[in-house]
Amino acid sequence: MSADRRRRPHPVVAVAVCVVLALLAVLAVRHFVVQPFRVPSASMAPTLEVGDVLLADRTTAGTAARGDVVVLDGTGYFAPSSADGGRYWVKRVIAVGGDTVSCCGQDGAILLNGEPLEEPYLPQGMAPSTIEFDLRVPEGRMFVLGDNRSDSTDSRHLLGAPGGGMIPVERVVGRADRIVWPPPRGSAL
């Protein structure tokens, strides 16, 4: 046997190394690129239904733009602690730092910076809000609402709490980009 000849790894060792590398790749993608979340409630219906699985774009963590559907960490805001369940919430960003938002204008629409907000995602016949508010969103914060306003705990319900219903943008885990399950509902958001 020649001294230059390399020893091949045992097939079991080679498979184990491949499995470990694949798991590390999956964990890296989940932590840095996309993360799946299951929708637990009807607060975003009809855009998102109970049981839908969506992918949150982790590359957008800590950012928010008006109209985005985001996954956010609601611990201390919507849920007193992560032990209460419901750590992650899916909501639509209505206003960001510097915006004024109020409910409601003469035609019943939410006003964003003094202009009626077009909300084609609301369920047919649903009022934009039954809770009145008039506020300015501080820099670094966002005002979020569920699309199904009659069945959504959102910024309106925290108006008297510390922070006044405005969630820190740094709490955004990622923008919800796509429904991936069930297959018939699979689509971009």
Query: How confident is the prediction along the chain (189 residues), in pLDDT tens digits per residue?
Result: 455 567 777 766 666 565 655 555 555 445 556 888 899 899 999 999 999 999 999 999 999 999 999 999 888 777 655 554 568 899 999 999 999 999 998 889 999 999 999 999 999 989 999 999 999 999 999 999 999 999 998 999 888 887 788 999 999 999 998 898 888 777 777
For residue 19, what pLDDT is reported? 60
- Please give the torsion angle defined by the CA atoms of residues 50, 183, 177 and 95, in that order, rounded to the nearest 10 degrees: -30
Is the pTM of the predicted complex or chain greater than 0.85? no
How far, CA to CA in Å, does 26 sit from each of 20, 30, 94?
Answer: 10, 6, 33
What values do phi and psi take at 111, rounded to 5?
-100, 125
- At residue 57, the 3 state secondary structure works out as strand
- CATH 3.10.129.10 corresponds to the domain 36-188: no
pLDDT of residue 116: 95
| Rg of the chain on CA atoms, in Å | 22
Q: What's the confidence (pLDDT) of residue 132?
A: 93
Annotate 60-116 with DSSP letters as a single string: GTT---TT-EEEEE-BTTTBSSGGGS--EEEEEEEEETT-EEEE--TTSPPEETTEE
Cβ within 8 Å of residue 87, ≥6 positions away: 73, 74, 75, 79
By annotation, the residues acting in catalysis are: 43, 91
| Residue-level pLDDT at 18 | 56
